[in-house]
Amino acid sequence: MATNRRISRVAELIKREVSQMLLHGIKDDRVGTGMVSVTFVDVSGDLQHAKVYVSIYGTEEAKSETMAGLKSATGFVRSELGSRVRLRRTPEVIFIEDDSIERGTKVLSLLNKLEDERSLDSLTVDGNTMAEDDEL
């Protein structure tokens, strides 16, 4: 069983290497249809499994094509990791779509919308108050 420090170091190393493979190594055209970035890598305690969370920017069709391309490239990614990373056993790689960036963008847009509505409400309330003060 590996220590937490080693697990996190291996996860960061896998994240860096898979990111490089997404830029230069994977030749599948489906992977290039959406803008792909690795957001997080979760490595099991025995270093045998690695869940690679990827964020894909684009339409739903581009996302599904990109995920299909990544799933078909798992063998290539694992073999490349085996040659690039010095581990006793190369972990099984599983790609998982991460939509946390999109959810965060939605939350921020909702918060901005609420802030705009509140500022408009405060302006109308202040405007009414100022008009009433002028009458007195």
- What the block records as the tokens of 73 is 């490239």
Give pLDDT tens digits for 54-68: 988 878 888 888 888
Contact criterion met (CB below 8 Å) for 14 and 50 = yes
**Is residue 2 exposed (0-12), middle (13-18) or buried (19+ Cβ within 10 Å)?**
middle
- Is this prediction's pTM over 0.75? no
Residue 18, judged by CB atoms within 10 A of its CB (0-12, 13-18, 19+), counts as buried
Strand residues in 13-128 grouped as ranges (E): 35-43, 49-57, 92-97
Q: What is the pLDDT of residues 79-135, one digit of tens each?
A: 888 888 888 888 899 999 888 878 888 899 999 988 888 888 777 765 565 445 555
